[in-house]
Amino acid sequence: MDLDHAFFCGNPALDFAATLRARRTLRFETLVSPDRLDAWYVESGVVDTVSPSRAADVEQAIVVREAVYSLITARRLGEAYDKEALAAVNSVARKPPATPQLTATGRWTSATPEEALATVARHAVEVLGGPDVPLLKECGNPECTRVYIDRSRGVRRQWCGMESCGNKVKAAAYRARKKQAQPAAVH
């Protein structure tokens, strides 16, 4: 399994909403197949193993992801929730979640795709109804649309992650300053 999903946001529901990247520009979809959805569930730590998803599971996950993103955006901006988005997340959150079990080697969570998605929806309910709401921020990179929980000292974090967006934006600003400082070439 390739580890190509990113987890910068501080909550599985926020990371799940970020599986559609660059929403305002390129709209890069990461949940392109049942295998990629299953990989996300495992890489995110929501479950340790998931039974194979089908195309219908991916479609349902994308519906829930878009509902979660809508609710996150509304909460962050202090706006009213979209009723359909709220119903979609609550409907899935009511279903049985992935249940961890104790094994001889420790905790192990095996789930169906429906249970894994219910677990993500419950994370959305918890983050949007909990004490971290004032800490929700959108990444300062104009091309990034990830929303993260800013638990930094003084709540001054600007990027979803330095590795992903912070370094890119800082490097671009440095190049722009350097280019601006160069004297005009003499012909």
Provide the CATH number for the domain around residue 146: 1.10.3300.10
In a domain, 176, yes or no: yes
Domain, as residue range, for 170: 12-181
List, in sequence order, every beta strand (DSSP E) within 14-105.
Answer: 20-21, 28-29, 49-50, 99-103
Q: From residue 17, how far is each of 57, 151, 166, 169 by CA, in Å?
A: 16, 19, 20, 22
Residue 88 covered by a domain: yes
161 falls within a domain: yes
Q: For residue 1, is it within any domain?
A: no
Q: Decide if 132 is inside a domain.
A: yes
pLDDT at 142: 83
Predicted local confidence at residue 185, as pLDDT:
54
Helix (H, G, I), strand (E, B) or coil at 28: strand
Tally of domains in the chain = 1
Q: Which two tokens stand for residue 66?
A: 């878009």
Rg of the chain over CA atoms, in angstroms?
19
CA–CA dist 83, 90 (Å, integer): 10
* 7 in a structural domain: no
Per-residue pLDDT of the chain (187 residues; tens, 9 = 90+): 445 667 888 999 999 999 998 888 888 899 999 999 999 999 999 999 999 999 999 999 999 999 999 999 999 999 999 999 999 999 999 999 999 999 999 999 999 999 999 999 999 999 999 999 999 999 888 888 899 999 988 888 887 876 667 565 555 554 556 667 666 555 5
- Amino acid 62: pLDDT: 98
What's residue 1's pLDDT?
A: 42
